[in-house]
Amino acid sequence: MIAIDIGQSGSRASVDGKISTFSRGKLSSEPVEKTVREVLALLPGASSEVVSLSLTGLYGAVGDVADFLSSCGRAVGAKRVLVLDDGLASYFGAMRGRSGVALTLGGGIVAVGGNADSVSHTDGLGNVFGDEGSGYWLGTRGIARALAAHENREDDPQYLEYFTPEVNAYFALEVKNAHDASLLAIATGKKVLEAADAGLKIAQEIREEGAMRLSKTVLAAWIRVGGEKSDTPFITITGGLSKNTSYVRLIMAHIHRAMPNAALVEAAGDNLDGAIWAAENLESDLPPLMKWARA
């Protein structure tokens, strides 16, 4: 089997259990179908009748899967292709049948809840109108506050000094609102959390708001699958920013204020594991988050 997980900052592929990592991710301005074709081209000689795709950029609705079948058929000879929203792939990888919410926290964010036969998809709306608390969200606010300090709209020289490289990177951008600007924001998200850990007040304010917004996203994902605030759902938090333990603790502190019995547990696996698990265990579609395409 071939499984591919495409994110905003890179991609991974599993070919018969051998995992490869690529810097090529989904660009903000391109259809994910194009990204899939480009990542498939990075797997020369690979072949499989079954391909499972965990994809960012679907916004909770897989849509028509014919193009994915065509691309995978030409590239690796696939006859069956499973297409999953990356949030659902994260849920399957993390939970393996347990009830709860899987929060994926990286350049973007999405929370997928599961309870019996119900699933929900919350946020994952993209960095323009959603992804609250994500790396992009943190980074844009971190740089905006540093630019404000640069222009004396903020009075915090220590914060400005900490983010001077990012301020310089902003001014070096040829286009201030294109893909390179998005990458700068995503890369800065991690540094905002590091600045908060270092005690910088502005960074702590940004982190606090991000954690609060993420807690509301997790709670909404659970309520939308029929859960109650008094329940004891399992919560997993994965993705690059989950490595910052301070952020995870703060998110869970906000969650516990609304849902005291929620239990943070270690994820059983990641998106790639979830894509493989789904292809091996699920024969039917789960619209709108997952669909099979068959030749």
pLDDT in tens, 176-231: 998 899 999 999 999 999 999 999 999 999 999 999 999 999 999 999 999 999 99
Domain ranges of the chain: 2-90+270-294, 97-267
Q: 2-90+270-294: which CATH architecture?
A: 2-Layer Sandwich (3.30)
Nearest to 5 by CA among 129, 110, 93, 97: 93
Range scoring the smallest mean pLDDT among 28-32, 79-83, 256-260, 270-274? 28-32
What are the Cα distances from residue 110, in Å, to 47, 99, 201, 229?
31, 17, 27, 20
pLDDT bracket for residue 29 (50, 70, 90)? confident
Share of the chain above pLDDT 90, in %: 87
Predicted local distance difference test score (pLDDT) of residue 214: 98
Topology agreement, domain 2-90+270-294 and domain 97-267: yes
Q: Above 90 in pLDDT, residue 117?
A: no
CA–CA distances in Å: residue 108 to residues 1, 123, 289: 27, 9, 17
Q: At what angle do helices 135-150 and 201-223 cross, to 10 degrees?
A: 150
- pLDDT for 51 beyond 80: yes
Average pLDDT over residues 2-25: 94
CA distances from 230 to 112, 219, 260 (A): 19, 11, 7
Indicate if the pLDDT at residue 96 is higher than 90.
no
Residue 57 has pLDDT above 80, yes or no: yes
The pair of structure tokens assigned to 209 is 């708001």
What is the per-residue pLDDT for 116? 84
CATH code linked to domain 97-267: 3.30.420.40
* For residue 151, pLDDT beyond 90: yes
Mean pLDDT, rounded, of the chain: 95
Is the pLDDT higher at 201 or at 106? 201
* Per-residue model confidence (pLDDT) at position 63: 93
Distance CA 283, CA 178 (A): 40
Does residue 160 surpass a pLDDT of 80? yes
Q: What is the mean pLDDT of residues 60-74?
A: 95
CB-CB contact of 293 with 68 (8 Å)? yes
